[in-house]
């Protein structure tokens, strides 16, 4: 490929009002760990490894989960929902940004904690400790759900009483209903001799109007964190890992951003000259063979670990695109905005502050992070707000309200500019997300294929359009910083029916010469 590599975009997928009891002081929240605090956390790593050579990070093998790790509760009109499970005796603790080595060591020792994993860049640790006292049932409980959510809240409050602790959450496992039908529908193979066929999303965001401009065809690396990928005739992967799970979702997202322009295919990505650096998450989704059905499973420590690893290890990343939606309605039958769902919002309230620090670290390095708004709103009026769709959205909105603007939340719209029926609102920008044609891992008969294309809908499809669109804009306007470019994209006068600007790259160039 011609041209120089100018940026690396990272996309990640999991999919799914700040609570006054958990938000705390925004001054406290908006502070990254000091160098001494980071060194103190790093020292814990070496001590753990030296003293416990056989200690493994707490992981969850879905096939080995006992039946009592979740319970079914009735949800009016929506069948059964699955409650969260707290990983046994596992807590994630974030220290205040100015704690010393001796304070950290004393805290771990005096509380008899065993360090399992460290997150130095955000000043946090994962520890083993006895949490049983927080999860005792009461005679007033309506279901086991009450005891679990109460325990999450009480454990968080108890650990935060220590002035050295800034944020605290039990390591919450969310396990959805047994089967979730994907948005995916595979299409028949298209005529590869037709070089003019493009997905409607390309023209909608005006990407094709930029392709012949100076700089637009310079090489870029687009890194995608997703549930899995497949090698494909229309994609060029960089350092593809041999044990990568084969999935439609990551393959589809890859094609939206990086579908090849130099071969006679039926799809073209937003970026004309693009490599994909593919990485899959630890435990996110589990898909059945053929990509038809997905089982949802999310352990917060593994979400946090995957995100911080990518942010820390790739200093040439300029834009991240992460889709971390819990998809409460489809996965759990729960409306997170409903008054009776306060207990579910508490989970996001507790987890969100750790990701505020992640955003701060990214902003200091000039990185912009795009996040999908979530797909909870089908049939709901008003639609669900993106704030509680995921801990990252919560963090992006909280940070944005206090001057940190590098978290961008993406809604989805259809060909007519209407908000997609499933798309949550409260985003910053909207991109195409309905019946998007792109590369997939399985053909129409659900057989593995390196030349299959399919339709998929979701805010996860809208996110790579917007993230790659920002990269394309900066290739043509290289003097603009990431946040300046973000502001340019938001100047579009075209609005979706939700009221947010729809991405129009040509208009953004006119607004920002």
Q: Could you say which of 128, 144, 171 is where a domain stops?
A: 171
Q: Could you say which of 148, 171, 194 is where a domain stops?
A: 171
Q: For the chain, what is the domain count? A: 2
Smallest CA-to-CA distance from 237 within 1, 482, 59 is with: 1
With beta carbons less than 8 A apart as the criterion, state whether 438 and 255 touch: yes
Residue 191 to residue 232: CA distance in whole angstroms? 16
Kindly give the pairing relationship between strand 8-13 and strand 317-323. Answer: parallel
CA 279 to chain centre: 13
Residue 151 to residue 148: CA distance in whole angstroms? 5
> Is residue 132 located within the same domain as residue 193?
no
Smallest CA-to-CA distance from 177 within 327, 310, 1, 389 is with: 327
Residue 387 to residue 348: CA distance in whole angstroms? 9
> Is residue 79 located within the same domain as residue 207?
no
At 498 the pLDDT is 96
204: three-class secondary structure by DSSP: helix
Is residue 144 a part of any domain in this protein? Answer: yes
Cβ atoms within 10 A of the Cβ of 336, count?
A: 23
**74 is in which domain, residue-wise?**
30-171
- pTM, 2 dp: 0.86
- Helix ranges (DSSP H) in 219-341: 248-258, 300-313, 328-332
Q: Could you say which of 171, 204, 223 is where a domain stops?
A: 171
Cβ atoms within 10 A of the Cβ of 479, count?
A: 8
Strands (E), 324-406: 368-372
Is residue 23 a part of any domain in this protein? Answer: no
> Is residue 321 located within the same domain as residue 408?
yes
> Is residue 286 located within the same domain as residue 390?
yes
Which residues, 6+ apart, have CB-to-CB distance to 269 below 8 Å?
254, 255, 256, 257, 258, 259, 260, 261, 468
CA 32 to chain centre: 21
Residue 361 to residue 499: CA distance in whole angstroms? 30
Smallest CA-to-CA distance from 396 within 432, 426, 366, 431 is with: 426
Could you give the strand order of the β-sheet that contains 185-186, starting from the edge strand earlier in sequence? 185-186, 448-456, 436-442
Per-position b or e across 76-87, b if 16+ CB within 10 A of its CB: eeeeebbbbbbb
44: three-class secondary structure by DSSP: helix
> Is residue 217 located within the same domain as residue 112?
no
At 140 the pLDDT is 81
Distance, first Cα to last Cα, the chain? 28
Residue 292 to residue 207: CA distance in whole angstroms? 31
Cβ atoms within 10 A of the Cβ of 382, count?
A: 8
Smallest CA-to-CA distance from 289 within 375, 190, 182 is with: 182
Is residue 2 a part of any domain in this protein? Answer: no
- DSSP code string of 437-465: EEEEEE-TTS-EEEEEEEEE-SHHHHHHH
Q: What is the pLDDT along the chain (513 residues), one digit of tens a residue?
A: 334 333 334 443 333 323 333 344 443 556 789 999 999 999 997 666 554 443 444 444 544 444 444 333 333 334 344 556 666 689 999 999 999 999 999 999 999 999 999 999 999 999 999 888 888 888 887 766 677 788 889 999 999 999 999 999 998 877 655 454 444 555 545 555 555 556 799 999 999 999 999 999 999 888 787 778 899 999 999 888 888 888 888 899 899 999 998 766 567 899 999 988 877 765 444 444 445 545 556 778 888 888 888 777 777 778 888 877 787 887 777 888 998 888 889 889 999 999 999 999 989 888 888 889 999 899 899 999 999 998 999 999 999 888 899 999 999 999 999 999 999 999 999 999 999 989 999 887 788 999 888 888 999 999 999 999 999 999 999 999 999 999 999 999 999 999 999 999 999 999 999
With beta carbons less than 8 A apart as the criterion, state whether 3 and 251 touch: no
With beta carbons less than 8 A apart as the criterion, state whether 321 and 463 touch: yes
> Is residue 371 located within the same domain as residue 440?
yes
Cβ atoms within 10 A of the Cβ of 448, count?
A: 14
Is residue 97 a part of any domain in this protein? Answer: yes
CA 467 to chain centre: 13
> Is residue 314 located within the same domain as residue 422?
yes
> Is residue 219 located within the same domain as residue 350?
yes
With beta carbons less than 8 A apart as the criterion, state whether 482 and 184 touch: no
Q: What backbone phi and psi angles, to 5 degrees, belong to 423?
A: -70, 130
Is residue 113 a part of any domain in this protein? Answer: yes
Is residue 25 a part of any domain in this protein? Answer: no
What are the C-alpha distances in Å from 324 to residues 123, 269, 303, 336?
22, 22, 8, 15
At 111 the pLDDT is 95
> Is residue 333 located within the same domain as residue 294?
yes
Which residues, 6+ apart, have CB-to-CB distance to 128 below 8 Å?
58, 89, 90, 113, 114, 116
At 164 the pLDDT is 97
What are the C-alpha distances in Å from 336 to residues 329, 379, 399?
8, 14, 21
Is residue 22 a part of any domain in this protein? Answer: no
Residue 78 to residue 332: CA distance in whole angstroms? 9
3-state helix, strand and coil shares in percent for the chain, rounded to the nearest 5: 35, 25, 45
> Is residue 197 located within the same domain as residue 164?
no
> Is residue 229 located within the same domain as residue 262?
yes
With beta carbons less than 8 A apart as the criterion, state whether 429 and 405 touch: no
> Is residue 161 located within the same domain as residue 184?
no
Residue 35 to residue 285: CA distance in whole angstroms? 35
Residue 502 to residue 513: CA distance in whole angstroms? 19
With beta carbons less than 8 A apart as the criterion, state whether 309 and 120 touch: no
CATH assignment at residue 408: 3.40.50.200
Is residue 3 a part of any domain in this protein? Answer: no
Residue 396's region, left for phi above 0, alpha for psi from -120 to 50, else beta, is alpha
């Amino acid at each position: 490929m011609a041209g120089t590599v100018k940026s690396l975009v990272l996309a990640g997928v999991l999919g799914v009002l700040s609570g006054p009891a958990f938000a705390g002081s925004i001054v406290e929240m908006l502070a990254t760990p000091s160098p001494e605090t980071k060194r103190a956390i790093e020292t814990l790593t070496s001590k753990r490894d030296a003293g416990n050579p056989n200690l493994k990070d707490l992981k969850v093998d879905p096939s080995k989960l006992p039946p009592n790790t979740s319970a079914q509760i009735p949800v009016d009109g929506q069948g059964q929902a699955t409650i969260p499970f707290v990983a046994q005796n596992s807590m994630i603790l974030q220290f205040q940004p100015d704690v010393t080595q001796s304070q950290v060591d004393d805290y771990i020792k005096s509380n008899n904690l065993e360090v399992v994993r460290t997150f130095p860049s955000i000043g946090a640790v994962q520890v083993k400790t006895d949490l049983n006292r927080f999860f005792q049932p009461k005679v007033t409980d309506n279901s086991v759900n009450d005891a679990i959510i109460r325990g999450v809240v009480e454990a968080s409050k108890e650990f935060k009483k220590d002035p050295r602790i800034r944020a605290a959450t039990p390591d919450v496992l969310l396990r959805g209903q047994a089967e979730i039908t994907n948005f995916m529908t595979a299409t028949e193979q298209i005529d590869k001799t037709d070089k003019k066929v493009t997905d409607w999303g390309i023209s909608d965001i005006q990407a094709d109007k930029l392709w012949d401009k100076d700089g637009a065809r310079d090489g870029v690396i687009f890194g995608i964190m997703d549930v899995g990928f497949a090698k494909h005739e229309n994609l060029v992967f960089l350092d593809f890992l041999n044990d990568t799970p084969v999935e439609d979702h990551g393959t589809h997202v890859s094609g939206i951003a990086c579908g090849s322009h130099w071969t006679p295919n039926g799809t073209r990505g937003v970026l004309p000259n693009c490599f994909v650096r593919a990485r899959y998450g630890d435990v996110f989704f589990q898909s059945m063979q053929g990509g038809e059905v997905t089982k949802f499973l999310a352990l917060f420590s593994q979400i946090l670990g995957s995100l911080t690893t990518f942010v820390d290890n790739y200093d040439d990343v300029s834009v991240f695109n992460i889709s971390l939606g819990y998809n409460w309605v489809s996965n759990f039958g729960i409306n997170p905005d409903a008054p009776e769902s306060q207990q579910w919002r508490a989970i996001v309230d507790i987890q969100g502050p750790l990701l505020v620090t992640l955003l701060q670290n990214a902003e200091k390095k000039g990185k912009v992070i795009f996040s999908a708004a979530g797909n909870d709103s089908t049939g709901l009026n008003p639609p669900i707000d993106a704030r509680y769709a995921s801990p990252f959205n919560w963090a992006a909105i909280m940070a944005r309200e206090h001057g940190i603007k590098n978290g961008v939340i993406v809604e989805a719209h259809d060909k007519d500019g209407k908000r997609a029926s499933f798309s949550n609102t409260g985003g910053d920008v909207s991109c195409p997300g309905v019946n998007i044609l792109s590369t997939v891992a399985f053909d129409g008969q659900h057989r593995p294929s390196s030349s299959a294309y399919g339709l998929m809908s979701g805010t996860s499809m809208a996110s790579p359009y917007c993230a790659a669109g920002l990269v394309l804009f900066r290739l043509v306007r290289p003097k603009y910083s990431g946040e300046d470019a973000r502001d340019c994209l938001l100047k579009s006068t075209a609005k979706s029916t939700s009221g947010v600007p729809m991405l129009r790259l040509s208009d953004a160039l006119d607004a920002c010469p």
